[in-house]
Structures are given as C-alpha cells and as structure tokens.
C-alpha cells in the first residue's frame, strides 16, 4: 500500500526558500481544528488543543488505512495566529494572541471517519474541546518564507514582511498569520527549528 506524503504532493506549499518571500496559491484544504487564546507556552488550552489534534489525526489515519485502503503521513501541525494589532507578533506579545491550531486532513476522510476518530479519542483523553471540528479552509494567495531558528526570532522577519515586502508589492492582509511547523520543538534544538511563515494577502484597494 502506497503511503501518501502531502509535503511531497503539495511541494510548493511546504518548500519555500529561506529568507525570501514567495507567492503561493493555496487551494481549499480540509483540516481538523481547535481554537484558543493566550501564550502557547503557558496556556493549558494550547497543550490540550495539540494533544487532541494529534489524537484525532492518527485515529483517522489508522481508520483510513483499515477501511479505505488509503495510507498517508499525518501532515505537520499548523497554526493560524491573530490579534487586534498585527504588530503584537513582531513584539511577541503572546498573551494578546488568539489562535486556531490545525492539521490537514485528506479529501478521502469524510465526516463519518472524523466522528469515529473523535469518539475513540474521547476514550483516551476525556471530553473534547468545544471548538474541535473538521472544516474547509480556503486561504488563496499568500506570501511565505522558511524561517530557521527559534520561534521568538521570527519578529524581524515578520517586521520586514509587514513594513517592506507587502507595501512594495502592493498587497495587504487577507487573513490571519499562518505558521507550519516542520519539526517537533520537543525533539529539536531551537536553532534548528524549521517554520513556514505564511501571510494571506490581497491587492491594496
């Protein structure tokens, strides 16, 4: 049975250059999602969200392999981040952040498989977060780059995006800041963390 790796299937979305922002067109994709707010380093809701996303994602993977004959690599964790002032990200004022953490789900996973996976995960983790859902996310045109290093070192990169790249290319914000985590911070030195920084954009005016 072939195992699908969506980082290879959608290579342009997961392989941006480091240091330069490039334009990508992101198609509508299905995700399992959980919402929350506050500093991801200290908010208990963040840890719960991530635990649930992985629990449900792996339950869906195993179900798809057994019942649909489809096997795949669980895609990386992603996060949508926003605040009343986008400069909160540059300043790293994490207590002001709101977020949606999510993991991409293949199109061949339907609502029934998701519901079954949730029921299995409830037995392991207890009550599910109220915002847990399977939903389509249509991001569209975006600018993205690869950031190597600590999450807290993203500030200058985002400042350049907001203050230089976006104004000079004639675009503005069209959705929340988006991050894709290509390795596990629990197992990776901060200096070697690889994070895709993505910003949905639209033409000014």
Render each residue's pLDDT in the chain as its tens digit; 205 residues: 689 999 999 999 999 999 899 999 999 999 999 999 988 888 899 999 999 999 999 999 999 999 989 999 999 999 999 987 767 766 778 888 899 999 999 999 999 999 999 999 999 999 999 999 999 999 999 999 999 999 989 989 999 999 999 999 999 999 999 999 999 888 899 889 999 999 999 999 7
Contact 68, 30 (CB under 8 A): no
Q: What angle do CA 110, 46, 137 make, to 5 degrees?
A: 35
Q: Output the pLDDT for position 92.
A: 74
User: Distance from CA of residue 121 to its chain's centroid?
Assistant: 21
Would the CA dihedral through 142, 145, 147, 148 be positive or negative? positive
Report the C-alpha gap between 62 and 71 in whole angstroms.
8
Q: How many of the other CB atoms lie within 10 Å of CB of 126?
A: 9
Neighbouring-strand partners of residue 101:
34, 79
Q: Output the pLDDT for position 97.
A: 86
Q: Output the pLDDT for position 47.
A: 94
Place of tokens 């004022």: 93
Task: Decide: residue 191, CB within 10 A, 0-12 exposed, 13-18 middle, 19+ buried.
Answer: exposed
How do the residues of the chain divide into helix, strand and coil, expressed in percent and rounded to 5? 40, 30, 30
Neighbouring-strand partners of residue 79:
101, 179
Using a cut of 0.75, tell me whether the model's pTM lies above it: yes
**Bridge-based pairing state of the strands 3-4 and 71-72:** parallel
- Phi and psi, residue 108, nearest 5°: -80, -5
| Pick from 176, 166, 189, 164: nearest CA to 137 | 176
Q: Output the pLDDT for position 89.
A: 65
Q: Output the pLDDT for position 180.
A: 98
Residues in the chain: 205
Would the CA dihedral through 132, 62, 185, 149 be positive or negative? negative
């Amino acid at each position: 049975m072939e195992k699908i790796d969506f980082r290879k299937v959608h290579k342009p979305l997961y392989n941006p250059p480091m240091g330069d922002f490039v334009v990508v067109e992101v198609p509508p994709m299905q995700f399992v999602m959980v919402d929350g707010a506050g500093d991801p380093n200290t908010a208990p809701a963040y840890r719960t969200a991530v635990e649930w996303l992985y629990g449900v994602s792996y339950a869906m993977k195993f179900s798809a392999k057994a019942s649909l004959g489809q096997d795949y690599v669980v895609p990386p964790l992603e996060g949508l981040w926003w605040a009343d002032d986008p400069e909160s990200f540059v300043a790293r004022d994490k207590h002001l952040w709101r977020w949606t953490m999510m993991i991409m789900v293949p199109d061949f996973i339907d609502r029934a498989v998701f519901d079954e996976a949730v029921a299995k995960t409830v037995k392991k983790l207890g009550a599910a977060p109220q915002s847990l859902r399977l939903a389509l996310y249509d991001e569209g045109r975006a600018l993205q780059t690869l950031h190597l290093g600590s999450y807290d070192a993203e500030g200058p990169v985002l400042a350049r995006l907001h203050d230089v790249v976006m104004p000079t290319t004639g675009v503005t914000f069209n959705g929340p800041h988006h991050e894709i985590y290509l390795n596990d911070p629990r197992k990776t030195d901060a200096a070697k963390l690889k994070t895709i920084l993505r910003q949905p954009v639209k033409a000014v005016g």
